[in-house]
Each structure stands twice: as structure tokens, then as C-alpha cells.
Amino acid sequence: MTLLLPLLILLAFVCLLAGWGIVRKLRVLRAQLAAYRKGDYLGQLEIIEGFRTRESEPSDYLFFRGSALLELGRLEEAERALRRSLSMETNPALRIVARDELGLVLMEQGRWDEAAACFQACIAENPARGGGHRGMAEVLLPQGEQRAAALDAARLAVGADRAAKVARGWLGKEEHDDSLSESLAFLAWALARNSADRTEVESALNEAFALCERNTKPILARLHFCAGHAYAILGDVSESARHFRSACELDPLGNYGRLARSAGATAGPPT
């Protein structure tokens, strides 16, 4: 999951500049991002209330609320908020990221086909963006018979994220690096699933961890979650357990902390 990437914040901010209360909304954006980075999702939910005016529930409020609810595992509420945000949002870029986030929610609900449809729609609307390809890789990786397709999707995600630095000059280094780091982590998992050697897998993981902003706990937990799976497939149970444990410790309340806790309880060499 969504995770709520700094890239989403940037896209949202660009659109919010045209709306009311620019200073107030910028303050709320910064505060909720700080809470997200710390893994304080309950605090993030409280801060997000600042997007509302009286009893209104604008699309940006619903999007950020849905993202925080996903991290807290409140999946039905997250789905409702994100679907409502999608129904109201008119900006194409924000519609893509909202649909991407909805795909993560559906995936956590075990609704794999619906999640894949969300990511495929994101790719169709903007194939140059890494998020949709990354989502497809995450959907396909647990399905052993789809390992080649998962690797193709992960490679497309990494390629798109690498190119984004050149194609969209406004993209900040931190946002670019965070997104690329996640795509590289899924690439490492997909390489392991496709019988790549340990050196190739670890090369992708080393680059991913080097790029990640260290104070963004949910993203770093996601990297450790992918690494845990990659090492489990390689047969290194000790290293796999270390990464799953790190994800749990970094982000105990978040989506990938929970997923790592569950995976770590059953991790072992592939059968």
C-alpha cells in the first residue's frame, strides 16, 4: 500500500494552488505529510480535517483521508472515501493517483482482478508514470504463474521512474527518489521470483535503500517488505526475517508493517 507518496503531495499542491485558502491548505499539506512520514496516521487523520470547510468533504480531503485509512487497515472506509474522491475529482493527474490508491485498497481486500483493473486504467491514462506499472507488479508477484509478467511490469515501473527525472523537470529529487526506490524494491522481488542470481537482486535492493528518504517510515517499511520476500525466495531465511522485522519496527501501525508481520510469521524458502 499506499502508500501516500510525496509525489502525490506535489501533484495535489499544484492543483490546490488554483483553489481557495492557499496558505491554509499548504499548511495542512505540510502538517499531514510530516505525520505520514512519522507513521502517525491517527494524527494525519486529524490534520486532514483542515481541508474541510464547515461540513464539506472536498475531493482532496477524501483522497488524503482514504490514504490514511488504508495505512490504518480500515479498508472499507478507505474504499468509500477514495471512490467518492474519484467521483468528484476533475483534474486528470489527481484522478490517476486516486485510482492508484484505490487499487492498493482493493488489493489488500483480496480483490485482485479489480485492483489490476485500477492499475491498468492508470497505465492507459499515463503509461509514462511508474505507479501503475508498480501496482501491476505487486498484484502479480504473489501469483507464481505470473512471475514473468510481474518482472515485465516491475521493469516498466523502474524505467518510467528513471525517465521521469528528465521528462518532468518540476519533479523534485526527493519525490523522484522515493518513487524510484519503491519500484526498484519490487524489481528485486520480481527478479528473485524469476530465478535471478543474488547479486542482481541485491543490486536493485541496494540502490532502492540508498535512494529512500530515511525519515519516511511507510516507504522504508515497503522496501523492507519487498526485501523480505526477495530473500525468502533466495532461501536466506535469516536475512528475510531481518527485513520483515525492520518493516514491523519502522511502521507498526501501517499497511506494510502489518503485511510484514504476517509474512514474517510464515517466511521460509519457496516450495
> What CATH number does the domain containing 94 carry?
1.25.40.10
| Rounded distance between C-alpha atoms, residue 163 and residue 181, angstroms | 14
Given this model, what pLDDT does residue 212 score?
86
Question: Is 98 in the same domain as 215?
Answer: no
- For residues 160 and 128, the answer to whether their CB atoms sit within 8 Å is yes
User: How many CB atoms are located within 10 Å of the residue 268 CB?
Assistant: 10
pTM for the model stands at 0.88
pLDDT at 4 over 80: no
pLDDT tens digits for 205-261? 999 999 986 778 999 999 999 999 999 999 999 999 999 999 999 999 999 999 999
Query: What is the structure's pLDDT at 267?
Result: 58
On whether both 152 and 192 belong to a single domain, the answer is yes
Residue with cell 510525496: 6
What does the mean pLDDT of the chain come to? Answer: 88
| Residue of 70, 77, 21 lying closest to 50 (CA atoms) | 21
**51 in the same domain as 17:** yes
Residues 109 and 174 placed together within one structural domain of the fold: no
Regarding whether 229 and 193 lie in a shared domain, the answer is: yes
What's the Cα-to-Cα distance from 153 to each of 20, 91, 144, 201, 253, rounded to whole Å?
39, 26, 14, 16, 29
- In which domain, by residue range, is 86 found? 1-126
7-16, 27-36, 163-172, 189-198: range with lowest mean pLDDT: 7-16
* Shared-domain flag, residues 16 and 112: yes
Domain boundary among 94, 126, 158: 126
Same domain, 100 and 149: no
Closest-CA residue to 37 (of 70, 12, 8, 4)? 4
Residues 175 and 110 in one domain: no
Out of 61, 94, 126, pick the residue that ends a domain.
126
pLDDT surpassing 80 at residue 270:
no
Considering the domain architecture, whether residues 100 and 187 belong to the same structural domain is answered as no
Please say whether the beta carbons of 74 and 45 come within 8 A: no
Looking at the fold, whether 20 and 102 belong to one and the same domain comes out as: yes
CB atoms within 10 A of CB 137: 28
Which of 126, 147, 168 is the C-terminal boundary of a domain?
A: 126
Q: What is the mean pLDDT of residues 51-79?
A: 93
Contact between residue 211 and residue 171 where contact means Cβ atoms under 8 Å apart: no
Domain of 268, CATH number, reads 1.25.40
> Does 221 lie in the same domain as 243?
yes
Shared domain check, 110 and 9: yes
**What is the rounded distance in angstroms from the CA atom of residue 63 to the CA atom of residue 191?**
33
**Domains in the chain, number:** 2
